[in-house]
Chain A
Amino acid sequence: MAVEEKRLIFKHIDQPGYTIDIDCYLRNGGYEIAKKALTLKQADIINEVKASGLRGRGGAGFGCGLKWSFIPPTNTKPVYLICNADESEPGTFKDRQIIYKDPHQLLEGMLISCYANRVSLAYIYIRGEFPDGAKILERAIEEAKKHNFLGKNILGSDYSLEIYVHRGAGAYICGEETGLIESLEGKRAYPRIKPPYFPAVLGLYQCPTIVNNVETLCHVKHIMAIGGAEYAKLGTPNNTGTRILCVSGDVNKPGYYEFEVGKITLGELIYDVCAGIRNGNQLKAIIPGGSSAKVLRADETFKIKQKQADGSMIEKSITINDIPMDFDTMAAAGSMAGSGGVIVMDHTRDMVEALANINEFYAHESCGQCTPCREGSLWMKKITTRMTHGGARKEDLGLLKNVADNIAGRTICAFGEACSWPTQSFIAKFPEEFENKTKTETLSEPIRTAA
């Protein structure tokens, strides 16, 4: 194997004998870093996180330290921190491992992050489909309270923190941070308009709020363990640290793996780590960052710009196997690293079927608040479903693409992009498969005129 895993978050996960009890966590050095952090100045912790270059692991890859710094300096309201454990992007199953197998790691990361941001009340918003995860976290919180890692005057300091677990109502959109906040407030998870409702300014209960992904919060612990500068040496510049990749689909060894960001290529991931394509099949396509990420075609070449050690930029042409798994290169290759959910498809896959499947998911999950996404996602689903049932027309390809174009960039939240990127990219990358469908049959439905 060319590339070794670098396990920070997953250091103990799946180790024989490692349990979710606080005793086991403490035996393995648990809460030591939090103890140390509680003696530091808040600003010093934030500076360490900034220096680490940590980027959010939820999907957008936004700088964590920068996000924290958006809390207005003049703020007098309480600041809330919400751990986004809604993990709802298809293809993503990393936060689940942390919650189910090492809950105290998350609590310790949260404790440090909350202390740094002067948060005294934090929530873990966990998806409704993780009922056991919620129980595990509840139990872990009780244990942490007994050891005074949570509660009043934590470990003799002046600092107090309560963490509550809130179970989601079972919708994809609850993972969108402002939708999550609405849901936490007891309302429908309708994402808020930004401006003015940036969480850092007007978040939960109209107070400044930090929403961080489970994995991101765990990384804070490891940053404080080794220092921001040291952490930044992991991975590649601007894509620091480690991250968990969830590989699913047509590989021999699907699963979750932790690597330094950008230190592994897609090819290494699939052929070395995941033992290649199943049944000796040919690779056809990869969705590299959760189902909403744009699909990559196995035989395309990607022109990417890379920063050299001396700071100069070079442009080079690479194949899919050579794309390093980092935020910036994946964006340069026309997709996104997203949530780290790598979905692999082999040559037996019908791309129209695959898109119909994805479209069905997004049509089902559109919250319905704003027009383009509400109506467009269902329309796209209906078109692709019709295509898979032999009802494709010549004009459907252009229509489908145009519907997606009319959604992306025109909605309240990023769901507009999430639901239109698959359609846009599948059509752009595999036009022949869609055209083949239309050749099989034509539908002589009359075009209706508007009233």
Chain B
Amino acid sequence: MIAPTETAKEFVNIQLDGQWVQVPKGMNVIEVAKAFGKLIPHYCYHPKLQVVGNCRMCLIEMGTPKMGPDRKPILGADGRPEIAWMPRPQIGCATNATEGMAFRTDSPLIQECRKGVMEFLLINHPLDCPICDQAGECQLQEFSVEFGGEKSRFVENKVKKPKRVDLGERIVLDDERCVLCSRCIRFTRDVVGDDCLGFVSRGSHTVLTAHPDKPFNNNYSLNTVDICPVGALTSKDFRFKMRVWFLKETPSICTSCGTGCNTVIGSREGVVYRQTPRENEAVNQCWMCDYGRLNFHYLNDEKRLTQPQVRVKQDFFPTDWDDVLSQVASSLKNVSPNEIAILASARMTNEELFLVKQLQKQLGGDAVLLDILPRPQKTDHLLVCDDGNPNSQGAQLFGVSQKGKKLETLRQGIASGKYRLVLALHEDLTKLGVSSENLSKIESLISLSLLSNATTEASHFILPGAGFAEKRGSMINVKGRLQRLNKATATPVDAKEDWEIFNSLIARLGGNSFSSIEEVFKEIAATCPALANLSLSKIGDQGIALNFNS
């Protein structure tokens, strides 16, 4: 395990609201204040973006040490430098801590400045929060309550600007709500490298717009919805679907590729409404790709399997878990190990993969074919990984993956009728090139799946499993970081968490079973050196970098 290393920093003494404190040299005042539990309100400043200082909300008072004739600071009775305060307020975002500086973040002048800026921001802004999708997570709303005045003195007509502007495939813009902070412009230009947003017109009539020949369609466009401090940029996928204060927030990870971006799942009453990125410097900073973000709708797809089913001739009949697992167990007992093939998935969690390995052992060890389906894909310059599987490292670690080397054997074995029993775990055999004709040669085809597909249609037993938002567990991303999934919603109807399915099956085959997923992880930690001394709770929300060499 690699402990996060704190790079050696030079510290300086500064005076913050009358208190002398030590902070890293060069840290900007917004971050300094944050470190001491003080909020300096801001709109345009974002720690990951270039500082532009345009919103003027983070104004602070600043002072420097008074210098004597000897060019040394004059010290007061307390041995600290006396401060010469600047008459003009300064912006906190572009002011960096140096020795002897002093800041007032909440003086009468600053309160007046903030009140003034809040009033300016609101005079031409629609005051229709009740119908704005940003309500509840709007910084304009929050800072207005905290720092604004109680009434508007503005009696003129407001500036009219375009509304419901189609900025790209996934983004709608309301120019009247835009506070022109330029975060979105800087993000897409500097972080994504797709310079397609900008301002046109001047003064109070300035509007945000996309380049006429370059719609805002890059794979990171939805991050601008997250960083937009107001309701100007909204996600077509999420807008007006749910008031944000109703959403339960569950920290988790994205399972759409090997990067494993940290996320927050927003759900209500068993339905996932959105995924947003969660800050993790070691993985995704505070971004995620649009594909991964929106890749959750299948959880509520109409093809979702919600009941265990048994096929009799050509018809499927719903049944209960006890029945289906008994039948699967007896089918497994009736074939010899070299007649069994298990196609597992590197989309499964460590705990699930570990149990699949246990199942293989229970069924006869290496005689049973076991492999996963690799998903090589095109990477990009930011977060999309060349591995489309989120847990290839885990599959490798627990001996489930042969990196797809056995898939050809599997294909031929199905065609020749060698494999009389095949377990397809979250994978569709037709994606390997197994024809439906060959699928029908399998005497017992057992599918663990979320959605119906060609393989489930040809199966004798269908086991409905749990999606990434419906279960707990861990995965190891492509860089060897152990991360945790958390359960946001329950499995629908009678679907079951995968680890429980494997657990019951192993028990029915006479193997050891576990009483909880913690127990499973405990066993993993005991048998796998890379995970020694760890537990699910120890992983925490930021994950742990593993050292496979130790």
Contact B128 A379 (CB under 8 A): no
Across-interface contacts of B55 in A (CB, < 8 A): 370-371
- Interface presence of A2 (CB below 8 A): no
- Interface presence of A448 (CB below 8 A): yes
- Interface presence of A118 (CB below 8 A): no
User: Which residue on chain B has the smallest CB distance to residue A195?
Assistant: B94
Alpha-carbon gap, A101 to B119, bound state (A): 48
* B window 219-265: CB within 8 A of A: none
Across-interface contacts of A370 in B (CB, < 8 A): 53-56
Stretch at the interface among A56-64, A72-80, A338-346, A359-367: A359-367
Alpha-carbon gap, A410 to B91, bound state (A): 9
Contact A450 B151 (CB under 8 A): yes
> Quick one: which of B54, B116, B155, B199 contacts A445, CB cutoff 8 A?
B155
Contact B203 A193 (CB under 8 A): no
Across-interface contacts of A449 in B (CB, < 8 A): 150-152
B78-89 interface bits toward A, Cβ cutoff 8 Å, 1 = contact, 0 = none: 000000000111
B88 to chain A, nearest CB (A): 5
User: Which residue on chain B has the smallest CB distance to residue A379?
Assistant: B123
User: Which residue on chain B has the smallest CB distance to residue A386?
Assistant: B156
- Interface presence of A6 (CB below 8 A): no
Alpha-carbon gap, A344 to B113, bound state (A): 35
> Quick one: which of B150, B151, B203 contacts A365, CB cutoff 8 A?
B203
Across-interface contacts of A410 in B (CB, < 8 A): 56, 59, 88-89, 113, 116-117
Name the residue in B120, B141, B150, B179 with the highest tally of chain A Cβ atoms < 10 Å from its Cβ.
Answer: B120
Across-interface contacts of B53 in A (CB, < 8 A): 193, 370, 412
Across-interface contacts of A356 in B (CB, < 8 A): none
Contact B117 A367 (CB under 8 A): no
* B window 68-126: CB within 8 A of A: 87-89, 91, 94, 113, 116-117, 119-124
Across-interface contacts of A375 in B (CB, < 8 A): 120-121, 123-124, 204
User: Which residue on chain A has the smallest CB distance to residue B128?
Assistant: A451
- Interface presence of A376 (CB below 8 A): yes
**Number of chain B residues close to chain A: CB under 8 A:** 49
- Given A367-B203, A371-B56, A386-B156, also A193-B94 (CB < 8 A): yes
B190-210 interface bits toward A, Cβ cutoff 8 Å, 1 = contact, 0 = none: 000000001101111110000
- Interface presence of B291 (CB below 8 A): no
Contact A378 B159 (CB under 8 A): yes
- Interface presence of B432 (CB below 8 A): no
- Interface presence of B39 (CB below 8 A): no
- Interface presence of A199 (CB below 8 A): no
> Quick one: which of B59, B94, B152 contacts A196, CB cutoff 8 A?
B94
Across-interface contacts of B205 in A (CB, < 8 A): 368
Contact A368 B144 (CB under 8 A): no
Across-interface contacts of B119 in A (CB, < 8 A): 406
- Interface presence of A411 (CB below 8 A): yes
A426-451 interface bits toward B, Cβ cutoff 8 Å, 1 = contact, 0 = none: 00000000000000000101011111
Across-interface contacts of B206 in A (CB, < 8 A): 368, 374
Contact B202 A376 (CB under 8 A): no
Across-interface contacts of A193 in B (CB, < 8 A): 51-53, 91, 94
Alpha-carbon gap, A406 to B89, bound state (A): 11
B376 to chain A, nearest CB (A): 41
- Given A370-B53, A370-B54, A406-B119, also A379-B156 (CB < 8 A): yes
* B window 135-160: CB within 8 A of A: 141, 144, 148-157, 159
Contact B204 A368 (CB under 8 A): yes
Contact A369 B144 (CB under 8 A): no
Alpha-carbon gap, A412 to B59, bound state (A): 11
Across-interface contacts of A386 in B (CB, < 8 A): 156
A183 to chain B, nearest CB (A): 13
- Given A371-B120, A406-B120, also A451-B129 (CB < 8 A): yes
Contact B51 A411 (CB under 8 A): no
B115 to chain A, nearest CB (A): 8
- Interface presence of A65 (CB below 8 A): no
- Interface presence of B127 (CB below 8 A): yes
User: Which residue on chain B has the smallest CB distance to residue A171?
Assistant: B202
Contact B54 A412 (CB under 8 A): yes
A205 to chain B, nearest CB (A): 16
A370-410 interface bits toward B, Cβ cutoff 8 Å, 1 = contact, 0 = none: 11101111110011001000000101000100000110011
Across-interface contacts of A395 in B (CB, < 8 A): 153
Contact B120 A372 (CB under 8 A): yes
- Interface presence of B57 (CB below 8 A): yes
User: Which residue on chain A has the smallest CB distance to residue B53?
Assistant: A193
- Interface presence of B180 (CB below 8 A): yes
Contact A363 B56 (CB under 8 A): no
- Interface presence of A188 (CB below 8 A): yes
> Quick one: which of B52, B127, B144, B204 contacts A448, CB cutoff 8 A?
B127
Contact B56 A379 (CB under 8 A): no
A104-132 interface bits toward B, Cβ cutoff 8 Å, 1 = contact, 0 = none: 00000000000000000000000000000
User: Which residue on chain A has the smallest CB distance to residue B200?
Assistant: A188
> Quick one: which of A171, A378, A412, A451 contacts B204, CB cutoff 8 A?
A378
Across-interface contacts of B91 in A (CB, < 8 A): 193
User: Which residue on chain B has the smallest CB distance to residue A396?
Assistant: B155
Alpha-carbon gap, A129 to B91, bound state (A): 35
Across-interface contacts of A379 in B (CB, < 8 A): 120, 123, 154, 156
User: Which residue on chain A has the smallest CB distance to residue B124?
Assistant: A375
Alpha-carbon gap, A367 to B155, bound state (A): 23
A451 to chain B, nearest CB (A): 4
* B window 35-62: CB within 8 A of A: 51-57, 59
Name the residue in A365, A367, A370, A449 with the highest tally of chain B Cβ atoms < 10 Å from its Cβ.
Answer: A370
Contact A448 B154 (CB under 8 A): yes
User: Which residue on chain A has the smallest CB distance to residue B51?
Assistant: A193
Name the residue in B52, B127, B150, B204 with the highest tally of chain A Cβ atoms < 10 Å from its Cβ.
Answer: B204
Alpha-carbon gap, A231 to B353, bound state (A): 87
- Given A406-B120, A409-B89, A410-B113, also A371-B57 (CB < 8 A): yes
Contacts A371-B120, A447-B155 aside, 9 further interface pairs with beta carbons under 8 A come to A365-B203, A368-B180, A374-B180, A393-B155, A395-B153, A411-B56, A412-B53, A449-B152, A450-B148
Q: Which residues of B contact A (CB under 8 A)?
A: 51-57, 59, 87-89, 91, 94, 113, 116-117, 119-124, 127-130, 141, 144, 148-157, 159, 179-180, 198-199, 201-206
Q: Which residues of A contact B (CB under 8 A)?
A: 171, 188, 190, 193, 195-196, 363-372, 374-379, 382-383, 386, 393, 395, 399, 405-406, 409-412, 443, 445, 447-451
Q: What are 18 contact pairs spanning A and B, CB under 8 A? A: A363-B204, A371-B57, A371-B121, A375-B123, A376-B120, A377-B204, A378-B203, A379-B120, A379-B123, A383-B156, A386-B156, A406-B120, A409-B88, A410-B88, A448-B151, A450-B122, A450-B148, A451-B144
7 nearest A-B pairs in the assembled complex, by CB-CB distance: A406-B116, A375-B120, A368-B206, A451-B127, A382-B156, A366-B203, A378-B204
